[in-house]
């Protein structure tokens, strides 16, 4: 049995200027989902650590991708896993491109704070 104990996301994205409508939509989505995100002109930055068993954070990031289109930067996700093989960590990296959240197939980047 596989159990994801804790998931950590580190997000720092930069993107081209948004229209007033896009900016309003982005601010609304962020306000509904996150209390500690920094949204500035062309920048979205936040960290999240906690349970995300139903992948709500990935859904949130997909919503963000649809609004901003393409962004520079990488979204890092680390998961503490408990399964039949014991405790271990898994990593995934994502980017936002073409209005979609895209998983990258590259070596994981070490987190500043380990899970």
Tell me the Cα Rg of the chain.
15
Q: Tens digits of per-residue pLDDT, 57-110?
A: 889 999 999 999 999 998 999 888 777 777 778 888 999 999 999 998 755 444
Distance CA(87)–CA(61), nearest Å, equals 27
Residue 97 is predicted with a pLDDT of: 94
40 phi/psi in degrees, rounded to 5: -130, 175
Of 73, 72, 67, nearest to 19 by C-alpha is: 67
The first and second tokens of residue 59, run together, are 């859904």
Residue 6 is predicted with a pLDDT of: 75
Residue 109 is predicted with a pLDDT of: 46
Give the chain's mean pLDDT.
82
Q: At what angle do helices 56-68 and 20-33 cross, to 10 degrees?
A: 170
The stretch 50-60 carries a mean pLDDT of: 83
Q: Tens digits of per-residue pLDDT, 6-50?
A: 789 999 999 999 999 998 899 889 888 876 777 778 898 888 888
Q: What is the pTM of this model?
A: 0.78
């Amino acid at each position: 049995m596989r159990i994801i104990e804790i998931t950590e996301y580190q997000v720092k994205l930069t993107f081209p200027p948004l229209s007033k409508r896009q900016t309003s939509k982005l601010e609304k989505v962020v306000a509904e989902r996150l209390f500690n995100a920094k949204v500035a002109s062309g920048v979205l930055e936040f960290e999240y650590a906690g349970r995300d068993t139903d992948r709500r954070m990935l859904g949130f990031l997909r919503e963000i991708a649809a609004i901003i289109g393409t962004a520079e930067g990488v979204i890092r996700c680390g998961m503490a896993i408990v399964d039949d093989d014991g405790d271990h960590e898994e990593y995934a990296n994502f980017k936002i491109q073409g209005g979609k959240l895209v998983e990258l197939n590259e070596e994981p980047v070490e987190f500043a704070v380990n899970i």
